[in-house]
A and B are shown apart, each in its own frame.
Chain A
């Protein structure tokens, strides 16, 4: 078991290592600072990591704030809309429309009302995270089996109690999917928003470095973001496995997305 798992993870490394090697070879041949290889990027990471970590801190703080605002508002709203079928049906087309709208497109509109400060950025991030959260929670709540509701009523639960104690846990597997999409979306949009209107954050760092043709430094920051993203994704997955074991009981093939 442990042997095959090790073999599997080794196999997973083949492609990345091959790409890094090819990249390095191409970079040597090009031999220009505009096309740095992985070695130069590693040197940049070494040189700039205190600065990169500091800037990522700003980015993550804003991403987390926006994400939390979205989760706190959209999960209850989704559950509620799923229960109120008529209201849900009225709101659904708007949700579908917003779902296809790229969040960075709303940045100029938000700037008009909220300026360019943290409030504006957090609003945009919250909006980006809200869409997948609302869609998934609403869909889960809407499609709950009517049996759960019958049981709740026969146990004489109030509407609120039913939503909290039955609808919410029963919707959690789909909410988790929404949360993962929302995390990715929040990170993406926080970096984009910084590039457009921030004075700090990793997005700004990347932009400055690239404007000054410090491509290796920019790539170093990008490498950092991907690692942070990977860690966060893994964290979410671990939490999911822990809280939703009852949902994955029948499939142990559920991979780490």
Chain B
């Protein structure tokens, strides 16, 4: 199978501050994402997952190392990359209704008329199951529904790569399971390449074709594990599958071990 690399990170380091107060968060992270792949990035708490995601999104600079998207170095948010943030209530704009919030994702897309953007926004709201809520405002929706609007905005921007920063961390458990399946369905339907950053091991394994496991600070890639469960997942049967349990065991062991260790020296 010919691998078409969409995103590649090489030796990313990030140090906050300088001198005595310097805090090295990223210790040299390298990994790649192929077109059509769903990659989960999971690591112990405080290992700089959001820093890493912001770096590959072009939202934050790194101290050293390079990010390339479609072969081009990333220095600012590139065209074709969309981000879904954890804080959905602040990432949507309260003065715009849901349709206009989704259409905002297409603000910089040329060659679409305002009417076409509206139609596309409606289509994306339909896709996330919010067909009847286009004229409502984000603050009239529950948290899970707001995050679905944010996902619709990400999808609407015709992104080649959708970056998800703990998108389900703030929703209740039942909504979270529903949204995991929704995200998987959308990823298949739109052949969307996704990178999901999460601290939830089960979620990381359940969602991904491949899991990138991080160490504690200064963070490097501990190992990667391919999840051989096919694209179609199911909340009950997938989670009982021996391959799921084995992968979960592997990742969990790595992360718990990281927690128990004394601070490792930077790679």
Chain A residues with CB under 8 Å of chain B are 145, 147-148, 150-151, 153-157, 161, 165-166, 169-170, 172, 246-247, 249-250
Chain B residues with CB under 8 Å of chain A are 54, 57, 59, 76-77, 79, 81-83, 85, 87, 90-91, 93-95, 104-105, 107-108, 137, 139-140, 157
Whole-angstrom distance between the alpha carbons of A170 and B96 in the complex? Answer: 11
Whole-angstrom distance between the alpha carbons of A169 and B92 in the complex? Answer: 13
Whole-angstrom distance between the alpha carbons of A158 and B137 in the complex? Answer: 25
Whole-angstrom distance between the alpha carbons of A13 and B37 in the complex? Answer: 70
Contacts of A148 in B (CB 8 A): 90, 93
Contacts of A156 in B (CB 8 A): 76-77, 79, 108
Q: Tell me, rounded to whole Å, the shortest Cβ–Cβ distance linking B265 to chain A.
A: 32
Q: Which residue of A lies closest to B82 (CB)?
A: A154
Whole-angstrom distance between the alpha carbons of A161 and B59 in the complex? Answer: 17
Whole-angstrom distance between the alpha carbons of A169 and B95 in the complex? Answer: 7
When the two chains form their complex, are residues B94 and A246 in contact, meaning their CB atoms are under 8 A apart? yes
20 additional contacts (CB under 8 A) given A150-B59, A151-B91, A170-B95:
A147-B87, A147-B91, A150-B54, A150-B83, A150-B91, A151-B85, A153-B76, A154-B77, A155-B77, A155-B157, A156-B108, A157-B107, A165-B107, A169-B93, A169-B95, A246-B139, A247-B94, A247-B95, A249-B94, A250-B139
Contacts of A145 in B (CB 8 A): 90
Whole-angstrom distance between the alpha carbons of A169 and B104 in the complex? Answer: 14
When the two chains form their complex, are residues A150 and B85 in contact, meaning their CB atoms are under 8 A apart? yes
When the two chains form their complex, are residues B137 and A157 in contact, meaning their CB atoms are under 8 A apart? no
When the two chains form their complex, are residues A157 and B108 in contact, meaning their CB atoms are under 8 A apart? yes
Contacts of B77 in A (CB 8 A): 153-156
Q: Tell me, rounded to whole Å, the shortest Cβ–Cβ distance linking A166 to chain B.
A: 7
When the two chains form their complex, are residues B59 and A154 in contact, meaning their CB atoms are under 8 A apart? yes
Pick 16 A–B contacts, CB within 8 A, sort by A.
A147-B91, A150-B54, A153-B59, A153-B77, A154-B83, A156-B76, A156-B79, A157-B107, A161-B107, A166-B93, A169-B93, A246-B94, A246-B139, A247-B94, A249-B139, A250-B139
